[in-house]
Structure 1
C-alpha cells in the first residue's frame, strides 16, 4: 500500500459510494434510482443516441432526426458525450443504460479519489491515513453527492488534482506533456466545467509562481511554458471545441435567461451550513440553495488551521488567502457569479463552480497536515471554528429553516472532529483514528442525504424493454417518417433517441429556441430548452409528418415516473397500425417531409390562438384558403357549491362552503361521432393538479401547462361532451377562461394534405445527414421542408449548389426554377473541418515542443 496508496484510495471510495448509494436507494445496480440532476429525464436518452451512433449509424454524428424535429448534435457531443469514461456504455444493452451510467459515475468517483490521493503524496508527502481519508472526502463531497446525476461534470473533479500537480511542475520551469494531454481531455470531456477549471488553473499557476519564482527571467520563462502548454492543449481539443462553439452560437447563446435571484449578503450568513455536515436537499427553492462545499468537518478544521499556523510563512498564507477569495469570488456578486458560469446564469443547480471550493478546502487541509502547528495557533483555529458553529446556530439554521436533527448532527460531528484534531496534534492518538472518523462522516453525509431524497424505484429497464418491443412490431412503413407518443417516463422527451425513431420532441440545453417558440404558438408545449408534442392535433400531425401516433390506456402513475399526457381522442376514428392490450398506434394522414409549396416567411402568428395559427400555417404553405375548424361551440355551465358569474369569456367563482366538494362543469352539444378540440388556457392551469382535478367525459387529464393547448375529443353518440373542473382544497375563488369546442373539418384538411402529397419530394434516400429525391416545381413555388434550419446543410439541384433558405423563418427551403429537379441535401458538422485542422496543428506543435525540449536536455548533458 505504501507504493500504491492511491489505488487503495480509489477502490475504497468506490466501495463506500456503492454501499452508501445502495442504502440511500440511488444504486442502479441494486435496483435504486438516481433522482438528482437530469439523469433519468434527459441523459439516458443522450447515451442511447451515443450507443446507436457509435455502433450502428455514424450518419447521426452531426445531425439527428431523433433530436426533436432534427438538429445539429455537436453541442450534445461537446457537453454530454465525449468523456473517455463513456466507452463503458457501449458494453451494455440499451435497456440497461441506467446500470451503465451508474458504473460510469462509480468509476469517476474512484478516479477522483485516486488522483487526489496521488496529489497529496506528490506535493505534500502525506501519511497514508490522511492521504486516503482526504481523497475520499474530496471524491464524495457534498457537491458530488448532490450532483451525481450530472455525470458529465464529474470528469473535471476527477482530473483536477492531477492537473494541479502538473501546474506546480510548470511553475517550477519543468515542461509537462501530461498536463497538455490531461487538460485537452478535460476540455473535450465537458467544455463547461473545463472552462471553470481553466479559470482556476490560471489563478493557481499565478499563486505557485509567486511562491516559487525569485527572478523576472524565471517568471517570464515559467509563464511562457504554462501559456504554451495550455494553448497547445486547447488546440488539441479543437476537434470538439470548435464545432461545439458553432452550435452554441447558433442556439444556446441566443437565450436570454433571467438573472439569478440570489441574495449574496445572505449567502455569507448561510455559508457555515454549506461547509459543515451536509444533509440538505437540492429539492429546495433556488433562494434556499447553497454552494455545495462540505468536504468533511475535519477537512474544514485543518484548512482553518493552515491559515493560522505561524510555522507556515506569512507570504504563503496571504497568497493562499487570495487564491481562496478568487476561487469563492462567485459568491460575492452577480457579475462574478455569471463569470464563473460562462456568462449565463444556471437554470437550476446553483453555484456549479463550487467543486473548486471543495478542492481548495481539501488542498489546504492537506497542506496543513504537511506542517505541524503550535499550541497557541491551534487554540486560535479552534476559536475560529467555534465562531462558524455560533453563526450556524444563531443565523444559518434560522435563515434556512433547518430542523433540530440537522443541527444536532452538525454539533456532534463538529465537537468530535475538533477533539480528535486537538488530541492528534497533542500526539496522543494515531492518525488513523481521525482519518477513519472523517471517512465515517463522509459516508454518513452521503447516506443521509440520499435517504432524504429517496423515491420509489423507477422501472426504467422494464419500460424501455416493453416500449421498444411495441415500436419494433410496427410495420416498417409506419416508421419511415416521424413518430410521436402521448406518454413518457420521467418527462424524458428524448425517448426518440432511446427507441431510435424520427421524433418531434427534445430536451437539451442546445435546443433551437425558434422551434420551441413555434411549438408554443401552435399550442404545443415549448419553452426554451425543450419542446413536447403532447397537445397535438391532426393539423400539427400533418404539418410535421407524424405518420404514427401512439397512445396508451396506462394511467399516469401506474409505475413511478410514468405520465400519460394530453388527449388524442381525435384519432379514435383513424386507421390503426398496431394495437395490443396497453397501446394503440394510429395512422396519421400527413404532409411529406418535403414538398413544393410556399415559404410563408412573412406569416404572423398570434400568441394564445393555437388553432387559428395552425390554420394560417397550413394555408400559407400550400397557398390554400380552407377552413379547418367550425365556429366555436359555447358550453352550458353548471356548478356545485360555487357562486359563479360569467363575463364575456371569463367565469369568476367562489366556494360557498369550505371542506365541501366544489366543481364547475362545461357541457357541449355537438354532432355525434365528430372530432374536435377544446382549447385550455395555461395561465389558469399552471400547477393545475394542485388547483384543479380536470376530467373530460370522465377521463382524467394530465396536462403540461406551458401554453394554450387543444384537447383532442371524440363526440359520443349522444352528442354530449363534458369538461369538469373539480376545485382543490385551497382553491376557494378565482377566474376561469371559458373553454370552447371547435369541430374539425376533416374534408378540408384532407384536401390540403392531398395537395402537399401530390407535390412531394419523391424520396430516394433519407438518412440523418442526407436527403435525396426528385420534385416538380411550378412557377412561384419553393421546396418546403419541416427540417429545422441550421448551418451545416448544403443543397444541390441537378448536381449544382443551391442556396439554403428558410420557410416560416425556421425550416429549410430551396428556391428553385420551374421544372423537375433532382435534389440532394447534405449535412456536415459546422466547424468540424476547422476543428480537425486546429487539432492536427496542436499535435504538430506538441511533437515539436517534445523534440526541442529533448534536444535542449541533451545539450545540457
Structure 2
C-alpha cells in the first residue's frame, strides 16, 4: 500500500504542486494582511461584502431549512422567483462548503473557497498541459501559477462566483481536444454543461471563446475536408447537447432574464473605439489595478513576464506551423479588438454594458496568451539573442509608454514600474541563457524560474490587492449578530407570514441572509417592474437594487410590513460591553414610537404596525384600471388607497404644509422652495438652508425631495443630529420627519456639498392619520388570512363583502403564479403594472396560490433527453469498439 501511495504521489507531484503553489502563495498574503481567521480583517469588499456573502447565507437557509427558496422567496424585495438568481449566484458546487460556516464564521468560508478556486485553477490548467503533452511535468507548476494568479483572477477575486470559469475552462478545452482526437467522450459536454449551470453568464463567454479556439485548432490540425466536416459535427452536436443538459436551469433562467436583465439590453450600438488601444499594454505591468479600475477601468490581462514573452515568441517559432501562427494571430487580433471596440465588447457581455467590472471576458484572453506561451516553450526556455533583443524592445516600449502616461493612469506608480523592470529583465536574462545538455545547468535554470515566476505573480497580487480596502470582521459580525437576534425574536413573536421593515441594515440583502421579508434587495437579475414600483411609491431604487427605507403609514400597511426593527442609540444600550456595537440607522421613522413595542433587545427594538394588511386583500375593481402619475409618491399612494377602498378620487390623505421659517445662509433667497436652484454666494464658504416648522397636530409629517438632494450633493440634519435616509435615489422619495410632535418645533438643515443645491420636489406634507387608518382598517378587515405552506404555495380564506370586488395582492406578477379560488383555477392579471390580481365574487372563499418557474418542466424534459442521448452515443461507441 505504501509503495502504491509513493508511486502515485511521485506521478502526480507536478499536478499537486500546481494546486498547492498558488494556494500557499495567496494564503501567505492573506495571513500577512491578517484576514480572518488569521486576524481582524476579512476578504469582504464591494459586491462580495455587500451582496454575495448574503447570498451564501441564503443558500445555507435554503438547503438546510426551506428548499422551496430555490424556486421563489419573499426574502427577495417583496417577493420574486429565484431559479434565475441561483443560476447566476449560487449553483457553483464550491458553494456547498458554506454549509459548514454558519453566522459570522462565513467569512472564513469565503477565504477557504477563494483559496480552493486559486488552487484548482492552477491544477486544471496543469492537467490540460499534462494530458495534451504540451509541457513536461517539471515545469507545469510555473504555468499553473501564471494562470491561477493572472491579473483577471486577482482583480476579480471579490467576484467569487465568476472564478469557476477559470477553474472549468481548461477542463472544457481538454475535453474538446480529447473529443476531437478520440471521436467520442462525455467530458466536454459535461464540463461545458456544468459551467452553464454554475454561472450562465461566464458560460456564455466561454461558449464564444470555444468557437474561436475550435477554428484555430482545426486550422492547426487540418488533414482533409472530410475530417474537418466530422469535427464540425462533433463540436456542434456535443455543444448543443451540453446546452441541453443545462436546460433544466437555462430555460427558466432565460424566462426570468426577460423580465430583469433582458429589459436593459442595449439597442443603440456605436461603432467606436472605447479608449486609445495602446493603453491596453499598461495592464501588462505588475500591480496595474486599483479601486478606480473597478467601475470603469481597462481590461485586466496581466499574465507575467515568462508567459508574455512566450506568447510573443510563439509567432516567431519556426517549429510551429505557419498556418497555425497565422490563425492564432487572427484570433488574437479579434480578442484584442474585442477589448476596445464597443460592438464586440457588448457582444461578449450579452449586449449589455457591465455595471462595474468592465471587460469581464478578459480571462479567456489571459488563457489564450498563456496557452500559446506553453506551446512555444514546448521545446525549452531558451531563445536566440536576436529574439531576446526583439523582446527587450517590446517590453521596453511597454514600460516607456506606461511611464509617459503615469499621470493620467492612476494605477501606475514608480513602485509598479520598478518591479516590472526588474522581473522583465530577469526573465529576459534567463531566456538568453542556454544550458545545453548540461543537466546541472538545466536544473539551476529551472530553479531560478521557480523562484522568479511565483515571486512575480505574488508581487502582482500584493501590489494590486494592497490598493483595495476590506471590511473588518467586527464590521461584518456585529450587525450580523444583531440581525440574527432580531430574526429569531420576530419569528418567536409571530410564526406566521408577513413582511418586516427595518430602520437599520448591514446590506440590502439582510432579508436573504436572515430569513426576513424586509422589502430590500440587491441583484443583477432584479425584475424591472420592482424598482419601477419602488420609485413610484417614494423609495430608493436602481436598475439592480431597491431599498424599502422610506415607507409611509399607507405603504407600510398596504405592503403588509407588520413588524419593524429599529436600532437603539448608544446612550440607550444598558450593557457597557455592547455600547461600541451600536448600529448606524438607515433611516429615521418617528412614527414608530406610536406603534406597540413587541420586543426590547440589547441593541434593537421591534415594533408592530397595527394597520398592516396581508399580502392579499379584497379591493374595489377600480384598482384594475388605476392611473398613476409619474414621480409623485404622494399621488400614487393616494390613488392606490382610494381605488382599493372604492373612495372618491377627490379624497386626500396628504396635505401640503408651509414652513414657519426658512433661513438662507450664504445662498440666494427664494419664496417658492419647490424646484428652486440655490447657489452659493461665496464659493469657499459654508452654505446651508434651515427649514423650521411647528406641527399643529400629532399626525405624521413627511418631506418629499428629488435626486437633487442626494447625499453626494447635500448633508442633512434634523436638529443637531444627521437626518438619516438612504443617500442615492433617482426618483422623488418621501421621508417621515415628525410624528406626535404637536407644538414642538422641528428643524431641518440642508448643508451644501457643491456650489449649488436643487430643491427638486421639495414639499412638506401632513398625513391625516385618522382618515388613512380608517381606510386601511377597511382593507385589513377583508385581508386574505394566508397560511404559508412554503414559499411557492400559499393558501387561506378571504371574506369578500360587496359587489365589484377583486382579489388583489402585493405579490409581484409572474406567469408562474397560478390562482385557485375554491379549487377552481382562475385567470390572473397584472395590477398596478406590478402585482398579481384575480376576479372574485361576494362571499367567503378559499384562495390558493402556487408558483412554478416558467419553462421548468420543458427544461427538465430537454435535459433528460440530452443526457439520454449522450449516454446512448457513448454506449454505442463502446459497443462498436468492443466488436
TM-score, L = length of structure 1: 0.93
- Equivalent of 1:216 in 218, 222, 225: 225
Residue matched to 1:367: 375
Report the alpha carbon displacement of residue 659 of structure 1 after superposing the two structures with TM. Answer: 5.2
Report the alpha carbon displacement of residue 319 of structure 1 after superposing the two structures with TM. Answer: 1.8
Change (3 A) 1:13 1:804: same
Q: Secondary structure of the residue that 1:534 maps to in structure 2?
A: coil
1:630 is aligned to 2:652: no
1:597 is aligned to 2:619: yes
Report the alpha carbon displacement of residue 606 of structure 1 after superposing the two structures with TM. Answer: 2.5
What are the superposed Cα offsets for residues 739-760 of structure 1, whole Å, 9 maximum, x if unpaired? 4321221111111111112222
- Equivalent of 1:525 in 524, 530, 540: 540
Residue matched to 1:784: 808
1:415 is aligned to 2:425: yes
Residue matched to 2:791: 768
Q: Measure, in 2, the Cα distance between the counterparts of 1:70 and 1:532.
A: 13
Matches within 5 A, 1:456-475: 457-459=472-474, 460-474=476-490, 475=492
Residue matched to 1:644: 669
Select between 255-264 and 770-779 the one with higher mean Cα deviation. 255-264
Q: Secondary structure of the residue that 1:264 maps to in structure 2?
A: coil
Q: Measure, in 1, the Cα distance between the counterparts of 2:791 and 2:864.
A: 27
Matches within 5 A, 1:517-666: 517-554=532-569, 563-588=584-609, 589-598=611-620, 600-625=623-648, 626-647=651-672, 649-656=674-681, 660-666=685-691
Q: Secondary structure of the residue that 1:449 maps to in structure 2?
A: helix
Change (3 A) 1:539 1:645: same
1:356 is aligned to 2:364: yes
- Equivalent of 1:345 in 348, 353, 373: 353
Task: Verify the 8 A CA contact 1:458 1:559 in the aligned structure 2.
Answer: no
- Equivalent of 2:54 in 45, 51, 54: 45
- Equivalent of 1:500 in 510, 515, 539: 515
Change (3 A) 1:601 1:130: farther
Matches within 5 A, 1:686-835: 686-688=710-712, 691-703=713-725, 704-706=727-729, 707-712=731-736, 713-714=738-739, 716=741, 718-728=743-753, 731-737=754-760, 739-777=762-800, 778-835=802-859
Q: Measure, in 1, the Cα distance between the counterparts of 2:704 and 2:131.
A: 66
Q: Measure, in 2, the Cα distance between the counterparts of 1:402 and 1:101.
A: 29
Q: Secondary structure of the residue that 2:242 maps to in structure 1?
A: helix
Q: Measure, in 2, the Cα distance between the counterparts of 1:357 and 1:562.
A: 45
Select between 263-272 and 70-79 the one with higher mean Cα deviation. 263-272
Change (3 A) 1:692 1:395: closer
Residue matched to 2:305: 297
Task: Verify the 8 A CA contact 1:637 1:666 in the aligned structure 2.
Answer: yes
1:98 is aligned to 2:107: yes
Q: Measure, in 2, the Cα distance between the counterparts of 1:265 and 1:722.
A: 48
Residue matched to 1:33: 42
Q: Measure, in 2, the Cα distance between the counterparts of 1:646 and 1:478.
A: 52
Change (3 A) 1:388 1:225: same
Q: Provide the alpha-carbon RMSD of the alignment.
A: 2.6
1:844 is aligned to 2:868: yes
Change (3 A) 1:608 1:836: closer
1:404 is aligned to 2:414: yes
Query: Unpaired runs of 5+ in structure 1?
Result: none
Report the alpha carbon displacement of residue 534 of structure 1 after superposing the two structures with TM. Answer: 0.7
Q: Measure, in 2, the Cα distance between the counterparts of 1:319 and 1:355.
A: 20
1:142 is aligned to 2:151: yes
Q: Measure, in 2, the Cα distance between the counterparts of 1:525 and 1:458.
A: 28
Report the alpha carbon displacement of residue 604 of structure 1 after superposing the two structures with TM. Answer: 2.6
What are the superposed Cα offsets for residues 283-338 of structure 1, whole Å, 9 maximum, x if unpaired? 34745x01011011221112111112233222221122122223334224211111
Task: Verify the 8 A CA contact 2:557 2:776 in the aligned structure 1.
Answer: yes
- Equivalent of 1:184 in 193, 214, 221: 193
Residue matched to 1:488: 505
Q: Secondary structure of the residue that 1:724 maps to in structure 2?
A: strand
Task: Verify the 8 A CA contact 1:269 1:395 in the aligned structure 2.
Answer: no
Change (3 A) 1:66 1:424: farther
Matches within 5 A, 1:14-25: 14-24=23-33
Q: Measure, in 2, the Cα distance between the counterparts of 1:258 and 1:676.
A: 43
Q: Measure, in 2, the Cα distance between the counterparts of 1:560 and 1:424.
A: 63
Residue matched to 2:880: 856
Change (3 A) 1:202 1:831: same
Task: Verify the 8 A CA contact 1:306 1:368 in the aligned structure 2.
Answer: yes
Change (3 A) 1:451 1:794: same
Report the alpha carbon displacement of residue 650 of structure 1 after superposing the two structures with TM. Answer: 4.6
Q: Measure, in 2, the Cα distance between the counterparts of 1:456 and 1:160.
A: 31
Q: Measure, in 1, the Cα distance between the counterparts of 2:319 and 2:242.
A: 38
Q: Measure, in 2, the Cα distance between the counterparts of 1:100 and 1:717.
A: 52
- Equivalent of 2:390 in 350, 374, 380: 380
- Equivalent of 1:442 in 453, 457, 468: 457
Q: Measure, in 2, the Cα distance between the counterparts of 1:42 and 1:346.
A: 16
Q: Measure, in 2, the Cα distance between the counterparts of 1:262 and 1:271.
A: 19
TM-score, L = length of structure 2: 0.91
Report the alpha carbon displacement of residue 437 of structure 1 after superposing the two structures with TM. Answer: 0.8
Q: Measure, in 2, the Cα distance between the counterparts of 1:78 and 1:598.
A: 39
Task: Verify the 8 A CA contact 2:270 2:342 in the aligned structure 1.
Answer: no
Task: Verify the 8 A CA contact 2:285 2:302 in the aligned structure 1.
Answer: yes
- Equivalent of 1:320 in 310, 328, 334: 328
Task: Verify the 8 A CA contact 2:287 2:459 in the aligned structure 1.
Answer: no
Q: Measure, in 2, the Cα distance between the counterparts of 1:752 and 1:516.
A: 26
Report the alpha carbon displacement of residue 267 of structure 1 after superposing the two structures with TM. Answer: 4.3
Change (3 A) 1:389 1:737: closer
Q: Measure, in 1, the Cα distance between the counterparts of 2:875 and 2:789.
A: 49
What are the superposed Cα offsets for residues 714-764 of structure 1, whole Å, 9 maximum, x if unpaired? 253543111112234xx3444435843212211111111111122222234
Report the alpha carbon displacement of residue 114 of structure 1 after superposing the two structures with TM. Answer: 0.5
Report the alpha carbon displacement of residue 392 of structure 1 after superposing the two structures with TM. Answer: 2.6
Query: Unpaired runs of 5+ in structure 2?
Result: 1-8, 571-578
1:119 is aligned to 2:128: yes
What are the superposed Cα offsets for residues 201-223 of structure 1, whole Å, 9 maximum, x if unpaired? 12212211221131122112222
Matches within 5 A, 1:165-314: 165-256=174-265, 264=273, 266-284=275-293, 286-287=295-296, 289-314=297-322
Change (3 A) 1:661 1:217: closer
Task: Verify the 8 A CA contact 1:272 1:388 in the aligned structure 2.
Answer: yes
Q: Measure, in 2, the Cα distance between the counterparts of 1:256 and 1:734.
A: 34
- Equivalent of 1:55 in 54, 57, 64: 64
What are the superposed Cα offsets for residues 91-120 of structure 1, whole Å, 9 maximum, x if unpaired? 221332222232222211111011111222
What are the superposed Cα offsets for residues 450-507 of structure 1, whole Å, 9 maximum, x if unpaired? 2211245142233222221133123432863100112222xx2111111112231111
What are the superposed Cα offsets for residues 644-667 of structure 1, whole Å, 9 maximum, x if unpaired? 344463555444556554322011
Report the alpha carbon displacement of residue 70 of structure 1 after superposing the two structures with TM. Answer: 0.6
Task: Verify the 8 A CA contact 2:482 2:603 in the aligned structure 1.
Answer: no
Q: Measure, in 2, the Cα distance between the counterparts of 1:260 and 1:568.
A: 45
Change (3 A) 1:734 1:78: closer
